[in-house]
Amino acid sequence: IDDVLADFIAAVDAIPAEVTADDIESITAARNSYTALGEFFQGYVPAATLEKLENAEQACKNFEGTLNVTTYGGTVLCNDRPYNTAGEQYSNGTEVKLSAVPDTGYKFIAWINTSTNNIIGTDAETNVTVAGQTNIQAVFGATGDAAQYTVVVRNKNYLVYNVYYVDKGNSITLPTPSSVGNYEFVGWKFNGSDFSSGGVITESGIIYPVYQLKESDAKYTVTVLSGTKTPAASADGKYKYNEKVTVTANEPSVGTYFAGWTKNGVIVSFDREYSFYVCNDVTVCATYSETAPQIKPQITMTDVITSTTNGKAVISFVMERTMPSDGYVYVESGLIVTVSTGKVLNLETAASDSSIKVCKSGYATPNGQLKINVITPSGHADAVGYLTYINIATGDTVTIYTDNYHGQVEIGGIESGEIEF
């Protein structure tokens, strides 16, 4: 197994302190950085993004998607009937119940969305929403005194490094993940128990890293207008970095409608109860109107935060998305970033210009918050947020963008063209 992991470990160890455009392709698989705001940066994926969108667009031409499930060591039921190995056809937006049934001598381990490489569940039953080509792997592993075990190694936010098949008595050597943002790596777990790199594998299961939030003195003010918030602020009236706050809008008065939450003046949610993670002083306001609001997918850039570290600029872009619960299927979202000037930022230009990076969110929840820290000696960076979804009524795949946001830090003696996340 050490030989199997050798390339992966070498790729992780070879990650340079500064990442240039030429480095990106060689480290894409290894550099799966996490963000501190409940989501993670999945990697640079312009080519995969466009391919996925093309598949979704093609499927939507006839309003149908395909659910493909691969498995070994067990069988899968779709809506309580045997899965059709030729692929299951469903209308886009259909929620399908998947049930894993292990063979004798096996146990179920996890569901993996092989399009995004995410673990989407570890229970034997899960629900999947079909959107274009939806590819799922059901992972089973041997139990008891077996000749070979199945081990899934994932990161902090359920992105799969790989699925390994380990012969009895063999060990796994794991890399030491770097501390990321305000989180520091403290160790590995295997099926919930402490695990050390080089440990012998005696069962099938999941290995994952454990992180803890670094202590920080940074605190911020959260002001809520026309609503309430929980939890209550600390004695000084402030919240810690990355602390989760939930706000609830006041009931609309007679003849009015709740029209959404705004954060620093831009719409971030149409739900009366809205949660977010604190990263800056912020004002959130519940808005109301005399007519029912038009609820549609929204993508907004809520914050651009600048600072310095070791003589380099740190420019943080914070993006939020909100999706209505009915009528739309979420495909993906993220930030498109560059430190070059005069660039048009969208998915098409990113596919052909190596100086433009697509930083995709790894979660498929309807509402989400994503933060990317751009570290560059050039002192500046530009970013655009994007959201791709399927309109179920028309079958169209739609991508919407925020405006272009610019971050600038004055630093002397800088060099341009380098970027690090």
Of the candidates 266, 222, 265, which has an alpha carbon nearest to the alpha carbon of residue 247?
A: 222
The larger pLDDT score, comparing residue 54 to residue 413, is at 54
Q: Higher confidence at residue 400 or residue 174?
A: 400
Q: Given a cut of 80, is residue 19 above it in pLDDT? A: no
Which residue has tokens 């995410």?
A: 118
67-88 residue pLDDT tens: 999 998 999 999 999 998 878 8
pLDDT in the model for residue 87: 85
Closest CA to 183 of 38, 397, 56: 38
d(Cα 123, Cα 237) in Å, to the nearest integer? 40
Q: Taking residues 140-168, report their average pLDDT.
A: 89
The Cα–Cα gap between 144 and 203 comes to 7
* Pairing between β-strand 81-82 and β-strand 273-277 as defined by DSSP bridges: unpaired
Residue with tokens 């004002």: 283
Cα angle 246, 129, 325 (rounded to 5 degrees) comes to 40
- Give the number of other Cβ atoms within 10 Å of residue 37's Cβ: 24
Q: Between β-strands 199-200 and 171-172, what pairing exists: parallel, antiparallel or unpaired?
A: antiparallel
| Whole-number Å distance between alpha carbons of 230 and 218 | 19
* Confidence at residue 115, expressed as pLDDT on a 0 to 100 scale: 77
Sort 22 into a burial class: Cβ within 10 Å, 0-12 / 13-18 / 19+: exposed
Is residue 24 a contact partner of residue 421, using CB atoms and an 8 Å limit? no
366 or 341: which leads in pLDDT: 341
What is the pLDDT averaged over residues 195-211? Answer: 91
* Comparison of pLDDT for 301 and 39, the residue scoring more: 301
Residue 182 pLDDT grade (very low, low, confident, very high; cuts 50, 70, 90) = low
Query: Cis peptide before 231, with omega less than 30 degrees from 0?
Result: yes
Find residue 383's DSSP bridge partners: 337, 405
pLDDT band at residue 27 under the 50/70/90 scheme: very low
Contact assessment for residue 187 and residue 210, using Cβ atoms and an 8 Å cutoff:
yes
Say how far apart CA 115 and CA 364 lie, in whole Å.
12
Quote the pLDDT of residue 414: 34
pLDDT at 34 over 50: no
**Confidence band, pLDDT 50/70/90 cuts, at residue 253:** very high
The DSSP code sequence of 294-358 is ----EEEEEEEEEEEETTEEEEEEEEEEE--SSSEEEEEEEEEEESSSS---SHHHHHH-TTEEE
Cβ–Cβ under 8 Å, residues 363 and 39: yes
Strand partners for 190: 193, 207
Residue 393 three-state SS? coil
Binned at pLDDT 50, 70 and 90, residue 230 comes out as very high
Q: How confident is residue 181, by pLDDT bands cut at 50, 70 and 90? A: low
CB 407 within 8 A of CB 108: no
Compute the Cα dihedral for 373, 378, 380, 385 and give only its sign: negative
Contacts of 243 (CB under 8 A, 6+ apart): 277, 278
Banded model confidence at residue 131, pLDDT cuts 50, 70, 90: confident
**In the predicted model, is pLDDT for residue 383 greater than 90?**
yes
Longest distance between any two alpha carbons in the chain, whole Å: 70
pTM across the whole model: 0.56
pLDDT value of residue 5: 36
- Residue 360 confidence (pLDDT): 79
| Mean pLDDT value across the chain | 79
Is the pLDDT at 246 greater than 50? The verdict is yes
Return d(Cα 173, Cα 175) in angstroms, integer: 7
* pLDDT of 217: 66
pLDDT bucket at 102, cuts 50 / 70 / 90: very high
pLDDT at 179: 60
For residues 363-387, average pLDDT:
81
The rounded radius of gyration (Å) of the Cα atoms in the chain is 23
pLDDT at site 42:
40
Q: Name the strand (E) or helix (H) holding 243.
A: none
Secondary structure of residue 217 in the 3-state scheme: coil
Look at residue 186 in the predicted model and tell me its pLDDT: 86
179 close to 185: Cβ distance less than 8 angstroms: yes
Number of residues assigned to the chain:
421
Strand pairing partners for 405? 383
Q: Are strands 118-121 and 183-190 parallel, antiparallel or unpaired?
A: unpaired
What confidence score (pLDDT) does residue 215 get? 62
